[in-house]
Amino acid sequence: MALLRKLNSRAKTEINSGFGANASDYGGRFMNKDGRPNIDIRGVGFLNRISWFHTMLSMPRWKFLTVLFLFYIGINFIFATIYYLIGVEHLNGINSASEWGKFGSAYFFSAQTFTTVGYGHISPQGFLTSSIAAAEALTGLLSFAIATGLFYGRFSKPTAYLKFSENALIAPYKDITALMFRLAPYKNTTLTDAEARVTLGMVIEENGKMVNRFFPLELEFERANLLSLNWTIVHPITENSPLYNFTREDFASINGEIFVFIKAFDDMFSNTVVDRSSYTLKEVVFGARFEPMYHRSPAGEKTILEMEKLNSYREADISFAFTSSQIASN
């Protein structure tokens, strides 16, 4: 009930938030820091609930290359085992006397067949061995076609390439306070016509039942013509804000989350790109101010944007805002 009293009646509630209203059915945060919903789908098979194409496109580069490398080694190991079990005497050109040498020769023959290189040093003999080699060659062609498509998809996928600050801040803003966080592009891309939308989700008690409520947060500026430097997104905490009169203890104790949705136009891809992130109320630093993260170059011909300072902040006094609020309420 104390939270309901803090929530201003003029704060607008968002009806279609995309999340359920029953708080008892939710576990953890609504959205992960990378912008993906914190949801685990059950009731369908593992292979059916995962889009392997999307997974391969979105996984980190080192994981993607590792999967391709392990697949290449594994598929050749399987075909080499088949050749070895059939009998290496059906592979002309293998002269090794040891079993490991025979298997190694079968493995490298498999690699040559899979990649359709075909040096000619070893060749299949007999219908069964030739059939296996033909099937492996077809598998290799299809596999390389898929790998080529994945490489192209990863290179051509429109991506926002934005980094968000690790924390949001409650900082001084004119004669009041404001919720602030910032983001910045980190690639040599040009993002124009950027739009920001921020929603606050909180678990509150209504009529003896814990429910999820979502409030759109009004921003100082919802649009930016060009994203070339960092963009500090500001929500002024006025009397119409659902965060009005929230204290440091409220941010530490209340179960809530701030969702961030960014949309911009990438002129290189000639396409709209989107990015998402979120901050729990416990990730909001109360009474702080962001440090500047760009400055003029020593020669004065460039502007330097220091991405390592994206989350740099210092303490700031905001007690004046709460004193003014108390005076106004009295």
The structural domain count of the chain equals 2
- For residues 35 and 175, state if they share a domain: yes
Domain of residue 82 covers 52-156
Q: How confident is the model at residue 278 (pLDDT cuts 50, 70, 90)?
A: very high
Instruction: Compute the average pLDDT of residues 59-73.
Output: 93
- For residues 186 and 291, state if they share a domain: yes
| Domain assignment of residue 46, yes or no | no
Give the whole-angstrom CA distance, residue 314 versus residue 254: 24
pLDDT exceeds cutoff 80 at 173 = yes
Is residue 211 within 8 Å of residue 23, measured between CB atoms? yes
Stretch among 67-81, 87-101, 171-185 having the lowest mean pLDDT: 87-101
pLDDT exceeds cutoff 80 at 295 = yes
Give the whole-angstrom CA distance, residue 63 versus residue 67: 6
| Domain assignment of residue 184, yes or no | yes
Q: How confident is the model at residue 285 (pLDDT cuts 50, 70, 90)?
A: very high
How high is the pLDDT of residue 329?
A: 46
- For residues 34 and 179, state if they share a domain: yes
Give the whole-angstrom CA distance, residue 233 versus residue 222: 8
pLDDT exceeds cutoff 80 at 2 = no
Higher pLDDT, 226 or 320: 226
Listed residues 108, 126, 156: the one ending a domain: 156
- For residues 209 and 152, state if they share a domain: no
Listed residues 156, 177, 199: the one ending a domain: 156
- For residues 184 and 325, state if they share a domain: yes
Please give the model's pTM, rounded to 2 decimal places.
0.75
| Domain assignment of residue 89, yes or no | yes
Distances (CA, A) of 167 to 53, 121, 310, 322: 32, 62, 10, 22
Listed residues 156, 176, 211: the one ending a domain: 156
| Domain assignment of residue 47, yes or no | no
